[in-house]
Amino acid sequence: MNIVLFGPPGAGKGTQARYLVKKLNGFQISTGDILREEIKKDTDIGKKIISNMNEGKFVSDEIVNSLLKNHVCDPRKKEKLIFDGYPRSLRQAKNLDLLLNESNQKIDFIFFLNVNKETIIERIKKRKILENRSDDDLDTILKRYDTYIETTRPVLDHYSKNLNFHEIDGSMEIDQITNKIDTFLNV
Ligand code: AMP
């Protein structure tokens, strides 16, 4: 089963992705983590993306799509993909459709965790203390939210008419969101 977790930064996609990985024996495909790993390892890609990431801007579709391909086409991960933070643009959504199609896969569920701006700011401030992420300061949070509204929200139109698209109130407690997801999965 392949699942896309969709929503603004701070919506709880990572938390729910980790839950689903355990439950379904799946693989979390967090493009944010994949990109942070490139920076940590100081690769050529890492050097190219560090300033964009620290400023809360998107990394180019070319770079993200190329890093994603290895995961989607990995036979070990087939039908066990839990996407967290991808796709974030229409081009990425179309790229994902193509890659899945090529490997005879599909998206089984899309969960849109919907959260308002005020809740996001409060949550990311807390995460900054817990995880000390360099892109979690207030200016960057606001920039990331604006980028989400401009570039990522249009992806909703791409998905929202699908029968496997489900909107969930992401301001609920973690357990309540998990329960909601479980109800839709019915497994
Ligand atoms: P995240 O950990 O998902 O909040 O992502 C952290 C940062 O990584 C974002 O603010 C972007 O700079 C970058 N990033 C993560 N995923 C993507 C993506 N799918 N497309 C472009 N940039 C991304």
CATH of the domain at 27: 3.40.50.300
For the stretch 136-172, pLDDT in tens is 888 888 888 999 999 988 899 999 999 999 999 999 9
Is 161 exposed, middle or buried (CB count within 10 Å of its CB: 0-12, 13-18, 19+)?
exposed
Residues with Cβ within 8 Å of 166's Cβ and at least 6 positions away in sequence, in order, are 109, 110, 111, 112, 184
pLDDT class for 187, splitting at 50, 70, 90?
A: low
pTM for this structure?
0.93
Range of the domain at 149: 3-185
**ω before 9 within 30° of 0 (cis)?**
no
Q: Tell me how far the alpha carbon of residue 58 lies from the centroid of ligand 1, in angstroms.
A: 6
- Which residues does ligand 1 sit against, CB inside 6 Å? 9, 31-32, 35, 52-53, 56-59, 64, 85-86, 88, 92, 135, 144
For the stretch 33-60, pLDDT in tens is 999 999 999 999 999 999 999 888 899 9
Q: Please name every residue paired with 81 in a beta bridge, in sequence order, or none if there are none.
A: 27
- Measured between alpha carbons, how far is 127 from 2 in angstroms, rounded to an integer? 27
Domain count, the chain: 1
